[in-house]
Amino acid sequence: MTLWLLLAVVLTTGGTGSPSGTVLPEDSNTTAHPNSLMENVWKPTVVVLVAEEEVMETGELNPSHYPAQRVAKVVQHYFNTRHGSPYKVFAVKKVFSANAEEVPDSGRKYQLELSMKEMVHNTTVACAAEVLFPRKEGSESSPQVQLSCEDILKINTSAPEESLYQQYKLNQNLSAHNLPDSYGHVDEDQEPFWHLGMVASSFIMLSESSENTLYNMAQVANLTQMASENEQLKFDYHVLLHDMVSQEIIPWKLVFTWSPSAGVKVQTMEKSPNCRHCNEPKP
């Protein structure tokens, strides 16, 4: 166990947890429309995180405190990898209950009751989740998630998705950068591709998550459409992820495909050198 005190520069990217033990507000920014999540991106606020002893609690957890919120964020990334699209992006709305236990020879298991909010259509879904952080001597692997939710098929996005797919299947010349820009703005016609960046980034954040991490996507630095493959639209994305614990901005390169029928399929994920002091993007 270690004591720590961090002076953090926090980018307001809609995080649902705080590395301190403080209680989070009910109206967290993660429930807002995606454009409002990035309203003040790249305009940092200095926050002092409370000095505290890092203790892995067991038993019932405070749903509003960091351990429960951190695990809920993992559930969010998992949910997006399964159900996200250009017109469906999910974020944690509220954690109602959380419990942690040590599983001998396996790792640490969390059970949560929570609600997820689809941010584009302002629809809420109730879920129960189980998250296991496997623990082997000398190594850690990605968390294992089991999730049971209300019927999300009521969020019908088939018409706009098909229209978007047909448009860019015929005209494969899309490119964009800085989504959102330094003023938190995303052009309306680029919003679906910002959403795609959030969904594809969830594959990275889920893979990289542990009990000591808390990730948000800060920005799509640039994107390029590639030649289609097997009826799938194909994209090359460069994204910036915010590690809320270390306060690093970490660049990643993603190549993935998408279609309304197949969803998002990530082909490659490549981490670039750490970027602790990235330059602010240009509007």
Q: Which two tokens stand for residue 172?
A: 């494969």
Domain membership flag for residue 117? no
Q: Is 154 helix (H, G, I), strand (E, B) or coil?
A: helix
- Assigned domain for 215 exists: yes
C-alpha span between 56 and 108 (Å, rounded): 10
pLDDT at res. 229: 85
Q: For residue 237, give its domain range.
A: 158-271
Contact predicate 218/250, CB 8 Å: no
- Rounded mean pLDDT for each run of 10 residues along the chain, 283 residues in total: 36 38 39 39 34 62 93 96 95 97 92 95 94 78 91 84 95 92 93 97 96 93 94 96 92 97 96 60 45
Question: Is 277 a domain residue?
Answer: no
Inside any domain, residue 237? yes
CA distances from 136 to 51, 140, 145, 281 (A): 29, 6, 17, 40
The pLDDT of residue 56:
67
Position 175 scores a pLDDT of: 95
Residue 172, in any domain of the structure: yes
**Helices 191-208 and 66-83, axial angle in degrees (round to 10):** 120
> Which pLDDT score, from 0 to 100, does residue 28 have?
40
Residues with Cβ within 8 Å of residue 51, at least 6 apart in sequence: 3, 4, 5
The reported pLDDT for the residue numbered 42 is: 33
Domain at 176, CATH number: 3.10.450.10
Q: How far is Cα 59 from Cα 70, in angstroms, rounded to an integer?
A: 16
The two most distant CA atoms of the chain are separated, in Å, by 57
Instruction: Please report whether residue 74 resides in a domain.
Output: no
Count of domains forming the chain: 1
Q: Which amino acid is at 198?
A: M
User: Looking at the domain assignment, is residue 242 inside a domain?
Assistant: yes
Backbone angles phi, psi at 161, to 5 degrees: -65, -45
Question: Is 55 inside a domain boundary?
Answer: no
